[in-house]
Structure 1
Amino acid sequence: MKPTVARETARVRSLRRALEFTADRAGPLVDATRPYVDGLEHLPRDGRFLVVGNHTQAGVESFLVPYLVRRSLGVLVRPLVDRQMGRMRGLSGDLLAAAGGVVGSPETARELMRRDEPILVFPGGAREISKFKGEQNTLLWEGRAGFARLAIEHAYPIVPAALLGGDEIYRSLVARDSAWGRLTGAVSRRMTGRTDTAMPLLRGIGPTMIPRPQRMYLRFAAPIDTVAPQGADPHEWVTTVKRRTQQALERALADLGELRRTDPYRRLDPRARSVALEPAR
């Protein structure tokens, strides 16, 4: 069988060493914003798991989740990325490969699972990044269940990872069904053939695009067992695993939202840093 995960080149290996060197020294920078993180104990110690997360406008989760998994377990989690991104060439493609990113296809995921590697996937894809008004902190999966099917096929436990805060850095001004949403959706379809990349109108501080300071809240929920009960219908079990994963993420986002409301440090106000809420130990 022809491998679907490309063999690493010398340049990719060199770039990975550089990225790891940088990540190993990024602790003080990450800790300076004091992200609220709990549930790291839910990551299986053998490194054999599938992290399923929610995308945000800021994309912070794409960096914070792999960083914390590596800091906690010492392993590189492999993000499954959009097919177009995964096929980039040149330095951009090599940097993505150095960070562990691979094309998000079933064949690639199966190969990684046969190797017992940790994997990261965002079922919402690009649509979940381009949030319109009213879509903040919601899952936009549109029936996507491939992650559940593959996890069941390889008996891979699923660890839901919910991130709150990335959708508040910018404020969406219009709804997806607005004239602007329909226009940018049509342009996207014409230029790329895709229907999930309409562009929202955003603003940061005031009328500018300066990011609004926000603390990040990340929770790794308890692993979801994907081994089917004896006699379970295969199609129904896929639906069940997907639903349990989605419900776990939605509960975590709701719980983090309640916690954030009482956190004096939620907007990174330096005066409140000393009284920022921390996870129970």
Structure 2
Amino acid sequence: MSLLINNLESGFNYEGLVKFVEETIRLEHASSPNKPIYLVGDSFGGCLSLAVAARNPTIDLVLILVNSASSIERSQLQPLFPILEAIPDELHTAIPYLLSFVMGDPTKMAMVNIESRLPPSLKLTQLSRNLIALLPCLSSLADIIPRATLLWKLKLLKSAAAYANSRLHAVKAEVLVLASGKDNMVPSRDEAQRLMSSLQNCTVRHFNDNGHTLLLEDGINLLTVIKGTCKYRRSRKRDYVSDFLPPSMSELKYTCDEVFGLLRLATGSVMFSTLEDGKIVKGLAGVPHEGPVLIVGYHNLMGLELNSLIEEFLREKNIMVRGAAHPELFWGKSSSLATFDWHKVFGAVPVTAKNLFKLLSSKSHVLLYPGGAREALHFKGEEYKLFWPNKPEFVRMAAQFGATIVPFAAVGEDDLLELVFDYNDLKKIPMISDYIKESNRDAIRLRDETSGEVGNTDLFLPGVLPKLPGRYYYLFGKPIVTKGKKEFLKDKENANKLYLEIQSDIENSLAYLLKKREEDPYRSVTDRTAYRAMYSPIHGVPTFEP
């Protein structure tokens, strides 16, 4: 969009630009009336996108606003604007060059496309080359942006911001705001919060270490951000199952190496599964390859077991496990939820009966935690204790589709983290107690009081301290086939009996792993690191014999 505006700037005023984009949007809408139209507005483009959305409330638009210049009146550079207007022509050549450093970080721009796995010396060499190639481009900006054009752009920017801000109430579009923490051009962080409170349907994501030219900087993939915030959809109504785009190889590589790389090395996860004859083997051979499969298990503290589980299914079986997660991670407004965006990129869906129905009908491998947040946010002394609801919520659903149920257990949270402040501790601290109460006031509740303790869980962040890492162990139990048992499991008593058997299977698997891990000579991260340095990659480190 910014290229389009630059090409047309000499022939259009601001309203002319709005009408030009508006006509393009209307033509696209006429050709595909049931599909959303995405407008990516960077800086000035953010004002333009808001204006177009306000004037076209009936068109299905998704706005991606990147460091929107709608906050230009509160810019850190506002005191300099009169100076720019009065500066002599002979001194103007330095202005665009200086502005280029204000707008973005040249180092981050130069880091784009440099392979993260390269040795530091090669990284530095490529970075130097890229910077040398970039600097002449910055210095030539004075020729590209003459003084008259710069003054015209400032005037246009002020008009655009005023126009957009006066019409925020009319914006009905879905909006995603991307805000840089080191934006020296406009106060993007504050503007993001203002837009979220002013717009009807707005989500915010912060990028604390980036500058104004966010999309030009290293480590930013716009499609990944759109997928992680669940903004991608094919029609007016979002479908978390059919709209899912599998992670690309670059996303998988970035997640394993950069996002969860240290956790991956620290956990040294090892998987076991149970064959149909009851034999326990290393690896996932016991988990059926063909779906539908419902993987049911115990949720460790803060979901520490999730990343390795998803990664291992992809690595060993090339299967995308779709996790059923708390709806607050999808529909909550807090920008702090960005921590969980990678789970959405890797297939998580809100845990609703409708989504489970769709996943099982599409023969997917589905990951379900009946204990949910109550287990993931358990209290001190409750490690490896199941908190399941009173009703067998998933058994009859699985039987309806003939899904195979695979119970699983995972242990290792107590070898990674020390739980210092649990819910009961935090509720005793007045300010934190008030914050928890306020943040949960409008939170989504999955179950009512009839579900027992599981139905009354407040969402909070427990206080933890890291330990010298041990190891994570997983055991997938013997598959339970429900195909052909639909009528049998319609009976509440039969369904509840199987439900209790699955629960007992997981408890036995937890006890088995807790006992057997004592036999692992490589349970400590120091022993695993030494072994890997001499003999093997991370997946080749031995463990106990099952």
TM-score range for the pair, normalised by the shorter chain length? 0.7 to 0.9
Instruction: Establish whether residue 191 from structure 1 lines up as the match of residue 439 from structure 2.
Output: yes
Superposition deviation, residue 244 in structure 1: 1.7
Moved more, 223-232 or 255-264: 223-232
Question: For the Cα contact (< 8 Å) 1:80–1:101, is it kept in 2?
Answer: yes
Distance 1:253 1:115, change over 3 A: same
Distance 1:164 1:83, change over 3 A: same
What's the TM-score once normalised by structure 2's chain length? 0.43
Q: Secondary structure at the match of 1:146?
A: coil
Instruction: Provide the residue aligned with 1:75 in structure 2.
Output: 319
* Residue correspondence of structure 1 range 230-241 to structure 2 within 5 A: 234-241=491-498
Question: For the Cα contact (< 8 Å) 1:78–1:100, is it kept in 2?
Answer: yes
Superposition deviation, residue 199 in structure 1: 4.9
Q: Based on CA coordinates, which of the two structures has the bigger radius of gyration? A: 2
Moved more, 230-239 or 138-147: 230-239
Partner of residue 109 from structure 1, selected from 331, 344, 356:
356
Instruction: Provide the residue aligned with 2:478 in structure 1.
Output: 222
* Residue correspondence of structure 1 range 1-281 to structure 2 within 5 A: 4-5=239-240, 7-8=242-243, 16-22=248-254, 30=264, 34-39=268-273, 40-87=284-331, 92=338, 95-143=342-390, 145-173=392-420, 178=424, 180=426, 188-193=436-441, 195-197=456-458, 199=460, 202-204=463-465, 210-227=466-483, 228=485, 234-270=491-527, 274=531, 278=543, 280=545
For 1:162-206, what per-residue CA distance to the aligned partner results, in whole angstroms no more than 9, with x for missing partners? 110024422234776x564577778645531463136586442xx
Distance 1:17 1:277, change over 3 A: closer
Question: For the Cα contact (< 8 Å) 2:270–2:474, is it kept in 1?
Answer: yes
Superposition deviation, residue 221 in structure 1: 1.1
Superposition deviation, residue 63 in structure 1: 1.1
Question: For the Cα contact (< 8 Å) 2:293–2:404, is it kept in 1?
Answer: yes
What's the TM-score once normalised by structure 1's chain length? 0.79
Superposition deviation, residue 252 in structure 1: 0.6
User: Distance between the aligned counterparts of 2:366 and 2:359, measured in 1?
Assistant: 8
User: Distance between the aligned counterparts of 2:248 and 2:384, measured in 1?
Assistant: 32
Superposition deviation, residue 159 in structure 1: 0.9
RMSD: 3.7
Distance 1:46 1:191, change over 3 A: same
Query: Which letter does structure 2 place at the counterpart of 1:106?
Result: A
User: Distance between the aligned counterparts of 1:117 and 1:133, measured in 2?
Assistant: 35
Superposition deviation, residue 35 in structure 1: 2.2
Q: Which has the higher contact order (CA 8 A, sep 6+)?
A: 1
Query: Which letter does structure 2 place at the counterpart of 1:243?
Result: L
Superposition deviation, residue 85 in structure 1: 1.1
For 1:11-63, what per-residue CA distance to the aligned partner results, in whole angstroms no more than 9, with x for missing partners? x56x544323446879x984785323211111102143111121111522211
User: Distance between the aligned counterparts of 1:34 and 1:180, measured in 2?
Assistant: 31
User: Distance between the aligned counterparts of 1:171 and 1:25, measured in 2?
Assistant: 25
For 1:73-131, what per-residue CA distance to the aligned partner results, in whole angstroms no more than 9, with x for missing partners? 21211111111113368994864432111111010110111111111111111111112
Instruction: Provide the identity percentage.
Output: 23
Distance 1:241 1:4, change over 3 A: farther
Q: Secondary structure at the match of 1:80?
A: strand
Superposition deviation, residue 269 in structure 1: 3.1
User: Distance between the aligned counterparts of 2:487 and 2:391, measured in 1?
Assistant: 25
Q: Which runs of no fewer than 5 residues in structure 2 stay unpaired? A: 1-236, 274-283, 446-455, 532-540
User: Distance between the aligned counterparts of 2:252 and 2:372, measured in 1?
Assistant: 26
Superposition deviation, residue 232 in structure 1: 5.8
User: Distance between the aligned counterparts of 1:245 and 1:109, measured in 2?
Assistant: 19
Moved more, 243-252 or 136-145: 136-145
Question: For the Cα contact (< 8 Å) 1:16–1:98, is it kept in 2?
Answer: no
User: Distance between the aligned counterparts of 1:103 and 1:229, measured in 2?
Assistant: 25
Distance 1:262 1:149, change over 3 A: same
User: Distance between the aligned counterparts of 1:97 and 1:69, measured in 2?
Assistant: 16
* Larger relative helix fraction: 2
User: Distance between the aligned counterparts of 1:38 and 1:131, measured in 2?
Assistant: 25
User: Distance between the aligned counterparts of 2:530 and 2:514, measured in 1?
Assistant: 19
User: Distance between the aligned counterparts of 2:265 and 2:425, measured in 1?
Assistant: 42
Question: For the Cα contact (< 8 Å) 1:181–1:198, is it kept in 2?
Answer: no
User: Distance between the aligned counterparts of 1:121 and 1:56, measured in 2?
Assistant: 13
Q: Which runs of no fewer than 5 residues in structure 1 stay unpaired? A: 205-209
Question: For the Cα contact (< 8 Å) 1:51–1:161, is it kept in 2?
Answer: yes
Q: May I ask how many residue pairs the two structures share in their alignment?
A: 271
Instruction: Provide the residue aligned with 2:144 in structure 1.
Output: none
Distance 1:186 1:32, change over 3 A: closer
Question: For the Cα contact (< 8 Å) 1:52–1:159, is it kept in 2?
Answer: yes
